Amino acid sequence: MKYHDTHFHLDLMANPIDIVRQIEKHEIYTIAVTNSPQVYFYTENITKNSKYIRPALGLHPELVSERYKEIDQFISLLSKTKYIGEVGLDNYNKTPSDYKKQILVFEKIVSSCAAFGDKILTVHSRRAETDLLDIFGNEFPGKVILHWYSGSLKNLERAISLGYYFSINYQMTKSKNGQKIIDRIPINRLLIESDGPFTSLGSKKFTPLMVDSILDGICHSKNDINPKEIKQRILRNFYDLISCK
């Protein structure tokens, strides 16, 4: 089975064209998230001949206060891809007016994606997990990946009960809170993400070519399960995700 990376900011890397070539060479299935509809066009263009990279349409919550008017363009582009991200909510050091805009935009994103029924969303939820889960509700018809989840165990259990996936990065495998969260997630809901260039291994920015170190970290956190079984299950999870109807 081939490796995967469900959350990678290709357009923010210093050498995106070269990284595209490397991903293709090493056959790593990659969801290239974007932070705004305008960036989506660039990522779509540089990956148009790629077998392994899928550009995702995004509107990052931390950019909503200045780019909230782009929601109409976002919705108009939804028919171009079933991969959506990075989207979500972020209530860390945000003003009430900023957060209110985020909620309004995210509600539109979720309802618009629900109308298609087949979207795969990679979602940011920092300090906003309860509101985010409430907006999704109990019957969202697409697939949801909670990217770099750091919230409460109560909301973690709620998301698990809704069938959500969780993408794990290297920093999560190295923090006590991250390890605690990883330990509570069933292995059939785990996925891998680099979140490069926002994560690093030493001085090197993470790319999809480095995800084997994340798998090793997950195995260390779940040391009561055979590492081979964990790796096989996590790699299979991605195929289950992208083959959803």
pLDDT tens digits, one per residue of 107-120: 999 999 999 999 99
- The reply to whether 9 sits in an annotated binding site is yes
- The reply to whether 60 sits in an annotated binding site is no
What pLDDT is attached to residue 175? Answer: 96
Torsion of the alpha carbons at 39, 122, 102 and 127, rounded to the nearest 10: -130
- The reply to whether 107 sits in an annotated binding site is no
- The reply to whether 220 sits in an annotated binding site is no
pLDDT tens track for 178-226? 999 999 999 999 999 999 999 999 999 999 999 999 999 999 999 889 9
Would you say 98 and 132 are in contact if contact means Cβ atoms under 8 Å apart?
no
- The reply to whether 86 sits in an annotated binding site is yes
What 3-state DSSP class applies to 207?
Answer: coil
Q: How many domains does the chain have?
A: 1
CATH code for position 94: 3.20.20.140
Quote the CA–CA distance of 25 and 239 in Å, as a whole number. 19
What pLDDT is attached to residue 245? Answer: 39
What pLDDT is attached to residue 47? Answer: 97
- What tokens were used for 33? 């998230």
- Rounded to two decimals, what is the model's pTM? 0.96
Whether the ω angle into residue 197 lies within 30 degrees of 0, i.e. cis, is yes
- The reply to whether 240 sits in an annotated binding site is no
Query: Which residues form the domain of 161?
Result: 4-242
105: part of which helix (H) or strand (E)?
Answer: helix 96-116
Quote the CA–CA distance of 128 and 172 in Å, as a whole number. 18
